[in-house]
Chain A
Amino acid sequence: MPDEITQRVLHVIADAQRLAPEKVTVDKTFQELGIDSMDGVSLLFALENEFDINIPDEAAKSIRSVQDMVDGVKKILEHGGTLPADLIPPTPAGETKEPVEGSSEGAPVA
Chain B
Amino acid sequence: MRRVAITGVGVISAMGKTTDEFWANLAAGRSGIRTIQTCDTSQLRFKNGAEYTEFSHQPYFTDKQVDYLDRFAQFAVIAAREAVEQSGIVWTDDLRERTGIVTGSCTGGQITEDLGFRDIYEFKRNRIHPLSIPKVMGNAGASQISMEYGIVGPAYTVTTACSSSAHAFGQAFWLVRNGVVDFAITGGSEAPFSYAFLKSWEAMRVVSPDTCRPFSADRTGMVLGEGAAMFTLEPLDHARARGANILGEISGFGMSADASHITVPNPKGAARAMRAAMTDAGITPEQVGYVNAHGTATRANDISETLALRETFGEHLARLPVSSTKSMHGHGLGAAGALEAAATVLALRHGVLPPTMNYRELDPECDMDVIPNVARPAQVEYALSNSFAFGGLNAVLAFRNSA
Contacts and interface: CB of A to CB of B under 8 A. Distances in A.
Interface of A: 36-38, 41, 44-45, 56-57, 60, 93-94, 96-101, 103, 106-110
Given A109-B222, A110-B391, A100 B267 contact: yes
Nearest to A41: B205
B364 A94 contact: yes
A106 B364 CA distance: 16
B223 to A, nearest CB: 12
Given A37-B263, A38-B263, A109 B45 contact: no
Nearest to B364: A94
Nearest to A38: B263
Interface string B280-319: 0000000000000010101111011001000000000000
Contacts of B301: 99, 109-110
A99 B264 contact: yes
B260 A109 contact: no
Interface string B148-168: 000000000000011000000
A1 B260 CA distance: 39
Interface residues of B, number: 38
Interface string B378-403: 00000000001111100000000000
B299 A96 contact: yes
Given A38-B263, A106-B300, 10 more contacts: A37-B264, A57-B45, A96-B363, A98-B303, A99-B267, A103-B264, A106-B264, A106-B303, A109-B204, A110-B161
Residue picked from A37, A106, A107, A110, most chain B C-beta under 10 Å? A110
Contact of A109 (B217, B268, B296, B307): B296
Give the top 7 A-B pairs by smallest Cβ distance, nearest first: A108-B263, A99-B300, A109-B298, A110-B390, A106-B300, A109-B206, A99-B304
Contacts of A44: 205
Interface string B221-264: 11000000000000000000000000000000000000011111
A93 B307 CA distance: 20
B266 interface: yes
